[in-house]
Structure 1
Amino acid sequence: MSVQSLYQSKRMSAADAIQVLKDGDTIVVPTGVGEPPSLLTALSDARRNYRDIKVSQILPLRKYGYIDPETTEHVRHSAYFFGGATRPGGQEGWIDFVPAYFSELPMLIKRGLTPSEVVFSMASPMDEHGFFSLSLAPDYTMAAIEKARAVVLEVNPNVPFANGDCHIHISQVAALTESSDPLLEVGLPKIGPVQEAIGSYVAEMIPDGATLQIGYGGIPDAVVMQLTNKHDLGIHTEMVGDGIMTLVEAGVVNNLKKNYHRGKMLATFALGSKKLYDFMHRNPALEMHPVDFTNDPYLAGQNDNLHCINATMQIDFMGQCGSESLGAKPYSGTGGQADFVRAANRSNGGKAFIVLPSTAKDDTISRIVPTLTPGTHVSTSKNDINYVVTEHGVAQLRGKSAKQRCEALIAIAHPAFRAELRETAKKMNLL
C-alpha cells in the first residue's frame, strides 16, 4: 500500500481518532505548542465516557475542558511542569506532579517508570516518503512513541517540517486528524529596567564564539537583546524562540565556532511567533532533537564555552535555588535548569548563570534569603551553583566557602535588605 493510501486509511475526525483510548491509559502530550488542540478538545468533550485516563505533559498552554476538578475520575492531568492552565489544580491537589529532570523524562518512559500507552501530538504534513515532523516538541515524545500502543497525530499545514531526530512514519500512526488553525503564538515577556540591568551584566560576560542555552523569561530575553554586538555565537538549547531567531537574522549566530555539532542549532521544543515557526521549516541550520540529547549534561557539556542562562525565584546564603515552588506551593516544575547548569559546569570555558530580580512584591520582599522558605523545592543545588546575577551585580559562588558565598550574595541583594541579611548571617555564624 502506498504511503498516501495509508494516510487516507488512517484519516478521520478527532472524535473518531480518540477511540483508540482504553480506560486506564496514559496519554503523553508534547510540550507547549506541540499539544494537539483538536484531539484534546475531543477528549474533553468525551471525558465522561472514560475512566482513569491520565494526560502527562510539560507546560500545557490552553485550559482544556478535561482540566476539571469535577471529572478527575474520568481524565486527570499529570504534570511534568505546571503552566498557567494547570497551576491552580496543582496547588489545590487535583492535578498530579511528577518531579524529574527534563533530560531524564525519555529514560523514565523507556524504562516504564512513567507510563505511555497513547501519544497525542501535533505534526507537520506528511512528506513524499511518508514522514511527519514533530518539530514543535520532540522532547520526551519520541521516547513515548517507542513505548505507546497507539500514536494519534493532528496534522496541520502550519507546523514546520524541521530537521533532526523528530520524524515519525505513517506506518507508526494509528489514527490522524487534520486541522488548519493557526498555531498558538507566545509573545516575548515584558522587559523593564531591572531585567535590562541584569541582562547587561550577563551579556558583558559572554564572549564571542560562545554557545548559548537561553531559558524563557524577561531576563533571558533581556540578555538576548544585548548580544547584537557579539560574533560567531552558537546555540545548544532546550527552547528555540523569537530571541534566538532575531540573533540569527542579525548575523550574530552562525554556529561556526561550535566544536560539538558545528554549524547547527539544536533545540527540543519551540515557543514563539508564526515567524519563528516559518523560520524553522526545512532550515538546514536548525535541528530539533529529543530532550535526552539536547539536555543531557554530558552531551551538552561537550560544547566549549557553553553559557547557560536560567531564572530562579529565590536563593539562599548557601546558593540553593528555589525555581519551581513558592514554599511548598508548586508553581512550575523541574524543567531543564539543573541539566544546563551541570552542562555549563562541565564545559571547557562554560558559565552557568542563575538570574533573578533582587526583590519581589514592589521591593517588599528580598529574593536573596538566609534559608529558603520552608517547603521550597530546590531546583539547583548548592554544589552546582555558579554565577548569580541581580540588577545589583554578579556573585560567583562555585568553589567558594559558605562565608564567601554569603558575603557575595548580600553584596548583590537590594540595598534596603543588606543590613538585615548581614545581621541574620551573623546569628547563623556565617559572618
Structure 2
Amino acid sequence: MNPMSESQLVALLQGRNLPDNARVIASGNQAVPWKLLQLLDETLPTYRLGALNAPAGLPRRDGVTYETSFVGAGMRGSARLVYIPARLSQVPLLFGTTRKPDVLLLHVSAPKGSKVSLGIEVNILPAAIEACRASGGLILAQMNDQMPYTYGDGEYDLDLFDGILEVSEVLPSPPARTGVASDTADSAAQIGARVASRVQDGATMQLGIGEVPDAVLLGLTGRKNLGIWSEMFSDGVLRLSEAGALDPARPIVSSFAFGSPELYRWMDSNEQIRMLRTETTNNPAQIAQQAGMTSVNTALQVDLFAQANASRIGARIHSGFGGQTDFIVGALTHAGGKRLWRCGLGTPKPKFRPSCRFCASQPRLFSPQP
C-alpha cells in the first residue's frame, strides 16, 4: 500500500461512518503515533482513547475519554479517565469482548520487503489488530523510518493497513536524570547492589525501568550467560550485552522497550531480540519455565507483610499494577525463582494478626507486643 496524504487520511476517517464516541487504541509508551493522533483528534468530535502508559501530550479536551489498564503521565489526574484494573496478560482479552476497538493508530517501521514492524511497542497491539480486523474496524499506521525494525510478533504485511502516513520523527527517550539528591542515588545504588548479589550466573531477568533497576543491571555486568525474559527493557540490557554478560544462545524476549537513541539503533534488525505479544511474555506459565527466573519490580509501598501497593497514592489511581503480578506469579511458580520488591514511598505501621504465621514468628516488630 502506498502512503496517503494527511487530507486523504482525514477523508478516510470522515467517510468510515464511525460510531459516536468511537473506541480508538493507539501505540503507547514511547511509541505514540503523534501525527496520526493529531489528525484523528481534529476529525472526531468525541472518542475514547486507549493506550498503555501514555506520555504527556495527549489531547485533553471535552469529548475525549481515556481508557487504560496502566495510567501514564498523559492520562494521570484526568477527570475523564476510566481505569480498567487488569493484569497485563489479561488486557488483550478485552479487545474481543467488552472493549472492541473501532480504530487503531499504530507506529511502525519502514518496510523490509513487504513487511513493517511495530518496533519498540508490540505489547497488547497484536490482539487489538486481530479484534479490529475481525469487527471491520479501521487500522491506520504512522510509518517512521526512525522506528527500529524488530523481529517477532510485531511484523505485518503492508496490506493489513487501511491507511499509512509516512513520517520521519526521532523517537522519544526518557530524560536524563539530573539534580538527583545524593542520598536518593546512594540508596538506589545500595539496593541495586543487594539485589544484584542474589542473582546467579545463568539467571533469567525481568526488570522495569528506573533508578533501582538500572542499579541492579549495573551490578550484573560481571555475570555470565544471563537471559532476558521481560515485559520491557531499556539501556541496562544493552550494557549487559556490551559487557558480555548475556547468553548469546538465548533470545532477548520482551514486549516493549524504550531508552536512548543508541538503544534503538542496537535494536534495529537485531536477530537476538524477539518482541513478542503480551499474552506470551506475561504468561505466568511461560515465565515459570525460564531458567533461574528473577523478577525485580518497584512499588509505591510495601508493608511488613510483603503486601505491595503499585497502583494508588491515597484514593487516586497513579499507574496500575500492569504486568508485575504476572511476573511475580511466574517467578514464584518456578522452582528456585525469585521476586524482589523495592518500596518507593515508605511502610505503613503494621498491625498484629494472631492468626498470621509471620506475626507469630516476629513479635518484636509490633508495639505493643501481644
TM-score (norm 2): 0.90
In 2, the alpha carbon distance for the partners of 1:12 and 1:406 equals 67
Where do residues 334-413 of structure 1 align in structure 2 (5 Å cutoff)?
334-357=321-344, 360=345, 366-370=346-350, 401-403=357-359
- Structure 1 residue ranges (4+ consecutive) displaced by more than 6 angstroms after TM superposition: none
Alignment of 1:39-188 (within 5 A): 39-46=36-43, 49-51=44-46, 53-64=47-58, 66-68=59-61, 71=62, 74-89=63-78, 93-110=79-96, 112-128=97-113, 130-148=114-132, 149-187=137-175
Residues 64-84 of structure 1, C-alpha deviations (whole Å, 9 max, x = no match): 2x223xx1xx22111221122
Residues 1:269 and 2:249 are matched in the alignment = no
For residues 209 and 17 of structure 2, the distance between their equivalents in structure 1, rounded to whole angstroms, comes to: 34
Pick the aligned partner of 1:218 from 206, 211, 222.
Answer: 211
Query: Counterpart of 2:101 in structure 1: which amino acid?
Result: S
Please tell me the residue identity of whatever aligns with 2:36: L
Task: For residue 57 of structure 2, give the secondary structure of its aligned residue in structure 1.
Answer: coil
Identify if the C-alpha distance between structure 1 residues 21 and 42 changes in structure 2 by more than 3 Å, giving closer, same or farther: farther
TM-score by length of 1: 0.77
Supply the distance in 1 between the matched residues of 2:83 and 2:262 (Cα, whole angstroms): 33
Q: 1:37 aligns with which of 15, 34, 37?
A: 34
Partner of 1:392: none
> Does the 8 Å CA contact 1:317/1:406 hold for their aligned counterparts?
no
Structure 2 portions without partners, runs of 5+: none
Which residue in 2 is equivalent to 1:11?
Answer: 4
The answer as to whether partners of 1:12 and 1:175 remain within 8 angstroms in 2 is no
1:309 correspondence with 2:296: yes
Residue 404 of structure 1: CA displacement? Answer: 6.0
1:125 deviation in Å?
0.9
- In structure 1, the gaps of 5 or more residues are 1-6, 257-262, 361-365, 372-399, 411-421
Question: Quick one: distance in 1 between partners of 2:109 and 2:232?
Answer: 19
Among the aligned pairs, what percent are the same residue? Answer: 25
Native 8 Å contact 1:313 1:367 kept in 2: no
- Give 2:270's match in structure 1, choosing from 274, 283, 296: 283
Q: CA RMSD in A?
A: 2.1
The structural deviation recorded for 1:405 is 7.4
How big is each residue's C-alpha offset from its partner over 1:187-228, in whole Å with a ceiling of 9 and x where there is no partner? 465660111111111011000110000112211111111111
The aligned residue for residue 381 of structure 1 is none
* Amino acid paired to 2:245: V
Q: Is the 8 A contact 1:18 1:42 kept in 2?
A: no
1:36-57, Cα deviation, whole Å (9 max, x unpaired):
01011223333xx433x11111
In 2, are the aligned partners of 1:220 and 1:309 still within 8 Å (CA)? yes
1:123 aligned counterpart, secondary structure: strand
| Superimposed CA distance per residue, residues 157-188 of structure 1 (whole angstroms, 9 cap, x where no aligned partner) | 00011011111212211111011111111146
